[in-house]
């Protein structure tokens, strides 16, 4: 891949969501259902996926940003806040970068970035 981003080993960083209390979870696919409590109001169903894997028109609730703190903060300023609904919209030819509808606007991210944004598909 052409990504300078995913290629290098970098300590993963977890950003605490608005709902608070995100724990370090090194494996992104280990959601065996109900393993994690996000606090009382949160539904705990649905599959954890990365934004890169959303098909056009699919929406998911953003859970956490596994990116260095400054990058995560910048994305949060753009609207990628944990707990926000993100919908995959159009994409460039070849599917990369992808456009995401978030907080009333549309933002394009490369897949190498979107892969580190983990979200829960709504059931």
Partner 1 sequence: MIPPPSGSPTLTPLPREAHPRPAPAAVVALVGPPNCGKSTLFNRLTGLRQKTANFPGVTVERHHGTVRLSNGKVVELLDLPGTYSLNPRSEDERITDDLIRGKMPEVCVPDAILLVLDSTNLGRHLVLAAPLLALEKPILVVLNMADELRARGGQVDVEALSQKLGAPVVLVSAAKGEGLEGIHRFLESTFRAPAPIPLPVLESPPSCRQWAGQVAAESAYRPPVAPLWTQRLDSLFLHPRWGPLIFVGVVLAVFQTIFYGATPFMDAVEWAVTASGDFLEERLPPSLWRDLLLGGVWAGVGSVVVFLPQILLLFTFIGILEDSGYLARAALIADRTMAKVGLQGKSFIPLLSAYACAVPAIMATRTIENRRDRLATILIAPFMTCAARLPVYTLVIAAFLPNRPLLGPFLGTRAAALLGLYLLGFTAALITARVLKSTILKSDRTPFMLELPPYRWPTLESIGLRLLDRSKIFLRRAGTVILAVSVLMWALANLPREGGAPPDMDHSLAGTLGRTLEPLIEPLGFDWKIGVGLVTSLAAREVIVGTLGTLYGMEGDESGVGLQEALRQNLTPGGAVALLVFFAFALQCMSTVAMVRRETGGWKVPLIQFGFMGVLAYLGAFVANRVVSWLV
* Residue 22 in contact with partner 1, rule: CB under 8 A: no
* Residue 81 in contact with partner 1, rule: CB under 8 A: yes
* Residue 9 in contact with partner 1, rule: CB under 8 A: no
Which range touches partner 1 (CB under 8 A), out of 25-33, 40-48, 64-72?
64-72
* Residue 105 in contact with partner 1, rule: CB under 8 A: yes
Q: Which is nearer to partner 1, 50 or 89 (CB)?
A: 89
Binding test (CB under 8 A) with partner 1, winner from 7, 18, 47, 85: 18
Asked if residue 89 lies in contact with residue 34, where contact means CB atoms within 8 angstroms, the answer is: no
Q: Which is nearer to partner 1, 8 or 23 (CB)?
A: 8
* Residue 109 in contact with partner 1, rule: CB under 8 A: yes
* Residue 106 in contact with partner 1, rule: CB under 8 A: yes
Rg, Å, the chain Cα set: 14
Asked if residue 121 lies in contact with residue 51, where contact means CB atoms within 8 angstroms, the answer is: no
- Give the footprint of partner 1 on this chain (CB under 8 A): 2, 4-5, 17-18, 68, 70-71, 73-79, 81-83, 89-94, 96-97, 99, 103-110, 112-113
């Amino acid at each position: 891949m052409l990504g300078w981003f995913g290629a290098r080993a970098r300590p993963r960083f977890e950003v605490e969501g608005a709902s608070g209390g995100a724990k370090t979870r090194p494996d992104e696919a280990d959601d065996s259902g109900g393993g994690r409590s996000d606090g009382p109001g949160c539904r705990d169903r649905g599959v954890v996926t990365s934004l890169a894997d959303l098909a056009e028109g699919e929406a998911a609730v953003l859970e956490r940003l596994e990116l260095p703190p400054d990058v995560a903060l910048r994305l949060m300023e753009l609207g990628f806040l944990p707990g926000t609904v993100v919908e995959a919209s159009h994409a460039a030819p070849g599917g990369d970068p992808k456009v995401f509808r978030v907080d009333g606007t549309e933002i394009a991210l490369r897949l190498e970035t979107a892969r580190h944004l983990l979200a829960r598909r709504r059931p």
